Chains A and B, each alone.
Chain A
Amino acid sequence: MPTALGISAFYHDSAAALVDAGTIVAAAQEERFSRRRHDPAFPAQAARYCLTEAGTKLDDLDRIAYYEDPRRKFHRVLWTQIGTAPRGFGTFRHVLPEWLAWKRRATETVRDRLQDLDLGTVPPIDCYQHHESHAASAFLPSPYESAAILCVDGVGEWTTTSLWRGTGDRVEPVAELRFPHSLGMLYSAFTYFCGFKVDSGEYKLMGLAPYGTPRYAPLIRERLVDIKPDGSFRLDMRYFAFLLGRVMTGRPFEKLFDGPRREPEAPLTEREFDLAASVQQVTEEIMLRLARTARERTGESRLCLAGGVALNCVANGRIVEEEIFDELWIQPAAGDAGGALGAAFLAARAPDGRSHLQQGRDAMRGARLGPGYTDQHIQAYLDSHGLPYTRLSSAELSRQVAAELADGKVVGWFQDRMEFGPRALGCRSILGDPRNPEMQSVMNQKIKFRESFRPFAPIVLAEDAEEYFQLRQPSPYMLLVAGIAEKQRRDTPGQQGARGLDRLRETRSAIPAVTHVDHSARIQTVDDADHPVLHRLLSDFKTQTGCAVLVNTSFNVRGEPIVASPQDAYRCFMRTNIDTLALGDFLLHKADQPEWKESGDWREEIPLD
């Protein structure tokens, strides 16, 4: 049976994934091990973990699958330099030496680094195209026999947007758009301009959009991006600076949008709200047109999505709402980490087709593809550090945690294997009671140490989702936004007279902690087969309270990667005001714990996100 280790590295959020004949054995991002957020370094620890999980050495693998083609990427870098000369010497001097030294032969670096793991001989390395890897990650693990595939991101080699058709175990190209014309770059330019970090602050910009009015949208359409009826588009590069240097926007952009960019951490103003709303509206418009073209050109009734822009769950929700396709499936690791998985899938197809289709499910197992810890391991850790705990049966622990949540406690929930992809989906999560109007600010200030303009995301029993949300299909990976069901709503926004970010504190539904100012929510539906442990907890909470929803946020503090190990979880538990920690079958209460001592201020070590 063909086995492959997929690698994505050297740009943003490196990862490794091991696929054995179309079945995912393991997948993880390097940041979780190195504890450096979005770590772009070679994913040595993630690769080692994947091999350990599979119980194999490098010799036993058939292929290493690299997620992009370094040579084609180098060509793009060279053509960009030629195209921008003589104005681009700044980037030229900065970028060219590393491309000449090793980046154009990144696969050789991959081979050397794998060899350094000392886990046997490195098998042959195959390169796939960046968007081919995204497309494979979107379709091959999906629950569909055939589908249209749309990949939208910043850029890989040349491609920035691509349309494919998936049938059986193949992905076939249909059409593409090329660099520098990129929806990911357009969104990142506004992310940068609004004072957030490129490649991670996009999510914040999306969260900011409901506060604003899209008054700049006509200007964006008129000056920045020419959108054709079929969704294809071109940016007017006179307004962008990313070809020339390290920043996204320059003077012409500032002139268009009323002055210089907002400095990071400076107060947010009406302008940023409106910019966010505007670029979000244009993004949705492009995504809807792209989806319609995907439907027309492939004739398929289902759509698979990947690429960084597919993390824009508001746009995804719009595609569902407009009923362009019967159903939508989005790769949970839609960003470049998922490229490792897609490449591994391309290199290790099963000879007899995609076996998960027979079960009518996707192949992601609820994204629970990372390291898990046995109760023996957890107990050994707790005992060796003399940490007080109560051990319960899984069923008792679930009931107990549900009761504490109902009592207003904030619970660190560490169960099962770690999620693959950027979101915590109930394995490395902090949970709370969504009915509690205080929960939003409690969780933000006492645990995340941030002011937030974004509500938390709800998890809901899949079978009860319709009771709470206007959702037409399952959303197992928190990648769809939909409205709160009418009967859960309590008032209309603005009624209580709050302004700006304070509007988030108004109660506008029966589950205020997860309701955004426009009555929307980023939903994760939890089904019993994919997520038995979390499903039981939600069921227990529902039995005790009548409410089938919990607040879910990632188990970390601001700027830090999500916790991976019991040690990470305990550290985060003690540093924050989490009341209770459930580590597998072990329950720890804050009041029982020995005093937490640390040299220095840990908050200074964690960079701002």
Chain B
Amino acid sequence: MSTARRAAVNLLLPVVYVLLFIPAGLLTRLFRDPLHRKPDRSATSYWTDTGPTT
């Protein structure tokens, strides 16, 4: 990457983060945490079935 382009990217990154990622993060977490960061002690299993029939 050229220096000019790198500088442009460095300026843009915080803008993108604030305008896109922070709102998207807050919004998704209103419904559910995409990373399931807290265990669910009441669940019986965490497996996701990937087989063809299930």
Q: Which residues of A are interface residues toward B (Cβ below 8 A)?
A: 79-86, 89, 92-93, 96-97, 101, 162-163, 172-181, 225-226, 228-230, 232-238, 243, 293
Contacts and interface: CB of A to CB of B under 8 A. Distances in A.
A313 to B, nearest CB: 26
B4 interface: no
Nearest to A177: B46
Contacts of A83: 25, 28-29, 33-35, 37
Interface string B18-54: 0001101110110001111111110111111111100
Interface residues of B, number: 33
A492 B10 CA distance: 62
A174 B49 contact: yes
13 contacts: A82-B25, A83-B37, A162-B50, A172-B52, A173-B52, A175-B47, A175-B49, A177-B48, A226-B41, A228-B43, A230-B45, A232-B45, A234-B40
Interface of B: 1, 6, 9-10, 13-14, 17, 21-22, 24-26, 28-29, 33-41, 43-52
B39 A234 contact: yes
Contacts of A178: 48
B37 A180 contact: yes
Given A82-B24, A85-B22, A85-B25, A177 B38 contact: no
B1 A82 contact: no
Nearest to B25: A85
Given A83-B28, A232-B47, A236-B39, 7 more contacts: A83-B29, A89-B17, A101-B1, A172-B51, A181-B36, A236-B37, A293-B47
Tell me whether chain B's interface is mostly helix, strand or loop, or mixed. loop
Contact of A92 (B9, B13, B26): B13
B21 A92 contact: yes
A238 to B, nearest CB: 7
Contact of A96 (B13, B26, B40): B13
A89 B14 contact: yes
Contact of B28 (A82, A233, A234): A82
Contacts of B9: 97
Contact of B21 (A82, A175, A177, A225): A82
Nearest to A159: B50
A237 B47 contact: no
B31 to A, nearest CB: 12
5 nearest interchain CB pairs? Answer: A85-B25, A226-B39, A237-B37, A232-B46, A173-B50
Nearest to B51: A174
Candidate in B39, B41, B43 with the most chain A CB atoms within 10 angstroms: B39
Contacts of B50: 162, 173-176
B35 A79 contact: yes
